[in-house]
Amino acid sequence: MTYVIYDDATLEAALATPLDANLRDLVNRIVSHARMSGLWGLTCIAVLEPVDGKEDLEQLLGFDPMTGPLGDADGEFTPWWDWLEHHPGYFEVLHTTGTEFAYFVLVPDFGPDPAGLAELCRRNSGTLES
């Protein structure tokens, strides 16, 4: 993972690096909304790199992102996220836990995709090219 942003110090460290303009705008928008709603202290932003595997995200979320927290018991994939939106260069995947805590996972829509996370997002956001 490129960054895990969960407080002002980790945000400052991430913004001090040369981020892609689209990524910088997306992170700033998420943080701004979290602050305005009083939920910044209950928000975690994970910025993935194209080479990250599903294990990297599984370590953060506590479940396999390819099957979700309930697994794949019925043989069909059930989206585990509460929101999925495609932005220039990234997918924004929102996963809430409990009643207030939120993970924002930013999945790159470029470069290699060894874990299939970008393809999973494309398929479920309607942006998969036929």
- Measuring CA to CA, which residue among 49, 37, 30 is closest to residue 104? 30
**How deeply is 92 buried, as exposed, middle or buried, from its count of CB atoms within 10 A (0-12, 13-18, 19+)?**
buried
The full set of domain ranges for the chain reads 3-125
- Measuring CA to CA, which residue among 47, 43, 40, 41 is closest to residue 20? 47
What is the pLDDT, as a whole number, of residue 69? Answer: 80
Strands 43-47 and 3-5: antiparallel
Query: Mean pLDDT per segment of 10 residues, for the chain of length 130 residues?
Result: 92 94 96 97 94 86 82 74 94 90 94 89 76
Predicted confidence (pLDDT) per residue in 16-47, tens digit: 999 999 999 999 999 999 999 999 999 999 99
The residue to which tokens 């393809």 are assigned: 119
Instruction: Please state the pTM of the whole predicted model.
Output: 0.90
Q: Distance between CA 92 and CA 6 in Å, rounded?
A: 16
